[in-house]
Amino acid sequence: MPVVHLQKIWFIWVAFFLISVPLFGQEIENNRGTTAEGQANTQNNTEEIEPVDNIEILPDSSNTGYITIKGTPEAATAFINSEDVGDTPLIESRLKNGTYSIKVAKDGFKDYKTEITINGESAWIVYELERILYGHLTVESDPDSSDVYLNNEKIGVTPLVNKVIPCGSYLLTIKKTGYQTHESSCEITGSENKYLTFTMTPLIVQHIQKTSDMNISTAKRKTAIKKSMKLPGQGQRYLGQRKKGNIITTLQIVTLAGTIAAYSNASIAVDRYDEAKLVYRNAVEPNDIQIAWDNVRSKHDSAKSASTLAKVVLFGTFGVYVWNVIDAGFISKPADISLRKLSLILAPVISDNVSGIAANVRF
């Protein structure tokens, strides 16, 4: 090759080298600047990111699984353990292993509920919601303005006209103050307008007439007590209970007469006992002494019996008197006993060896 040509080639190569080296160096510097800027931006971005507490990042392991919820109709609200997780279809939502309650709800449809267990695998729930049917209920009552309840939940007052009610079986209750509560079963279907009418039954208020302290003033009771203390039975008659007062007066007179007779009999028996003792002391002959002694013993028994009877009758007389005063002061009901229906006669019976009271009761 001629020398001239070689010189030309060498000159071109040197010129190329001198031009290329500065350009290559500038590109390297630009790349270095871009790399440094990227690293700085990355560092800044890392510092700006903050963790979100309410989002749990689940590890992709056998401790988690996936759940898919889909069915008809769509756009129903899905709940997992009562927490709203969004509208259906819900595709492969990750959950920890465990048992969960699932509910799918949509207006106009019955809720779908179930339970599912996640155990590291995918689970599918396919639902089909049942549409709620509605019927109409009309309730009238006499009188109006009665409260209407279905399954113990108030739905209005009468007249209740064309109330929209979900189909089903219910306990219908009608209430109104002053009237008896009415309860009956009620079936609502979607093919009818159910019409019901009721006649309310008034409550029978029984007024109990109270006596004693409720109806009788303290002053009147005191007056009745004073009158009964003066004459048994008079306090009852003062309170308007004439028959009861007459019975008490009669009983008091009879027992008082019996007491007088019993004590008179006892007095006579004691006198005869004293006479028998005197005869016994004056007896001389053995035969007379034995007869007198037997007579003393007999008269002693008669006197003792008569004295006991007199005490019993006296106690009865006192009892009638006390009962008469208490009855006048703390009256309860008017006595149902009538003098025409009840006759009580007490009379003392006195003989040589026996003394007592004869009672004659006629109804």
Of the listed ranges 5-9, 92-96, 158-162, the least confidently predicted one is: 5-9
Among the candidates 110, 128, 146, a domain finishes at 128
What Cα–Cα distance (Å) separates residue 221 from each residue in 239, 318, 336?
8, 21, 21
Q: What is the mean pLDDT of residues 196-210?
A: 69
* Residue pLDDT, tens place only, 217-236: 677 778 888 888 888 888 88
Is residue 356 located within the same domain as residue 229?
Answer: yes
Q: How far is CA 190 from the centre of its chain?
A: 37
Residues 344 and 253 in one domain: yes
Residue 34 in any domain: the answer is no
Range of the domain at 291: 212-362
Instruction: Give the domain-ending residue among 128, 149, 175.
Output: 128
Q: Are residues 217 and 354 in the same domain?
A: yes
Residue 219 lies in a domain: yes
- Is residue 266 domain-resident? yes
What are the pLDDT digits (tens) for 33-70?
444 454 444 444 434 434 433 333 344 456 888 899 99
H runs (alpha helix) in the chain = 3-48, 218-230, 234-238, 242-282, 286-329
Residue 325 lies in a domain: yes
Distance from C-alpha of 117 to C-alpha of 100, rounded to nearest angstrom:
6
Q: What is the pTM of this model?
A: 0.34
Could you give the number of structural domains in the chain?
A: 3
CATH number of the domain that residue 194 is part of? 2.60.40.1120
Q: Would you say residue 347 lies in a domain?
A: yes
Contacts with 343 (C-beta within 8 Å, 6 or more apart), sequence order: 360, 361, 362
| Whether 179 and 286 share a structural domain | no
Do residue 90 and residue 140 come from a single domain? no
Of 178, 199, 220, which residue is a domain's last? 199
Buried b (16+ CB within 10 A) or exposed e, 71-100: eeeeebebbbeeeebeebebeeeebeeeeb
216 lies in the same domain as 352 = yes
Q: Are residues 216 and 358 in the same domain?
A: yes
CATH number at residue 89: 2.60.40.10
Q: What is the pLDDT of residue 323?
A: 86
Distance separating alpha carbons of residues 212 and 330, to the nearest angstrom: 6
Give Cβ neighbours of residue 128 (< 8 Å, ≥ 6 apart). 71, 72, 112
Cα–Cα distance, 244 to 336 (Å, whole number): 8
Is residue 130 within 8 Å of residue 74, measured between CB atoms? no
Query: Do 303 and 184 fall into the same domain?
Result: no
Interaxial angle between packed helices 242-282 and 286-329, expressed in degrees from 0 to 180 and rounded to the nearest 10:
160
Mean pLDDT of the chain, nearest integer: 76
The reply to whether 316 and 246 lie within a common domain is yes
Is 6 inside any structural domain?
Answer: no
Q: Are residues 119 and 144 in the same domain?
A: no
Query: pLDDT tens-digit profile of 150-176?
Result: 999 999 999 999 888 888 889 999 999
Residue 345 lies in a domain: yes
Q: Are residues 251 and 189 in the same domain?
A: no
> Based on the domain organization, do 216 and 328 belong to the same domain?
yes
- Is residue 19 included in any domain, yes or no? no
